[in-house]
Amino acid sequence: MAKKAKKQQPGGTPATVALTAADVPYTVHSYDHDPAHPSYGEEAAEAMGVPPERVFKTLVADVDGALTVAVVPVAGKLDLKALAAAVGGKRSAMADPALAERTTGYVRGGISPLGQRKRLRTVLDDSATAHPTICVSAGRRGLEIELAPADLTRLTDAVLAPIGRA
């Protein structure tokens, strides 16, 4: 049974602080995170009642020795070859989770593309542009930000590319 999403006042994480400072419109959605759920992203979509193609997960990969953020729909998977190509790289692999957490300042399952401790190059799956708003992690498990894909692209200097696959 899906949990009902609650709307919260903005603030509280580096991601929401960054959005507020940039004067970007956004909505924060919170829900009770279930540690036993097999997928953070699918749990978020279910809890908020949002189609999974509008909820995006933030993954950190190593592309030719440089950490890179990939933002893809929760319903699919990251295409590592496409990610490498999107940033002009040759090889890509998922980053060590502990390194991703230390570098971004967020915990796995709560990594946001915004407000990271060290700003990493970012690639947003181009399917995001098909929606007026998308949801991404707000910086902790059980907290999501809904915003326009164009705002996310601008604030992260993201490259738009087809990096997701079903």
Q: What span, in angstroms and rounded, lies between the C-alpha atoms of 133 and 126?
A: 13
Quote the distance between the C-alpha of residue 99 and its chain's center. 17
Which amino acid is located at 128 in the chain? A
pTM: 0.89
Q: How confident is the model at residue 38 (pLDDT cuts 50, 70, 90)?
A: confident
Quote the distance between the C-alpha of residue 79 and its chain's center. 15
Are the beta carbons of 37 and 43 closer than 8 angstroms?
yes
Q: What span, in angstroms and rounded, lies between the C-alpha atoms of 47 and 101?
A: 24
pLDDT of residue 43: 82
pLDDT of residue 6: 36
Calculate mean pLDDT across residues 128-150.
95
Residue 10 scores a pLDDT above 70: no
59-97 pLDDT tens trace = 999 999 999 999 999 989 999 999 999 999 999 999 999
* Residue 82: how many other CB atoms lie within 10 Å: 18
Q: What span, in angstroms and rounded, lies between the C-alpha atoms of 48 and 2?
A: 8
Quote the distance between the C-alpha of residue 95 and its chain's center. 15
Residue 1 scores a pLDDT above 90: no
Residue 8 scores a pLDDT above 70: no
**Dihedral pair phi/psi, residue 138, rounded to 5°:** -90, 0
Q: What span, in angstroms and rounded, lies between the C-alpha atoms of 64 and 3?
A: 40
Percent of all residues in the chain with a pLDDT value above 90, rounded to a whole number: 74
**Tokens 């390194």 -> residue:** 99
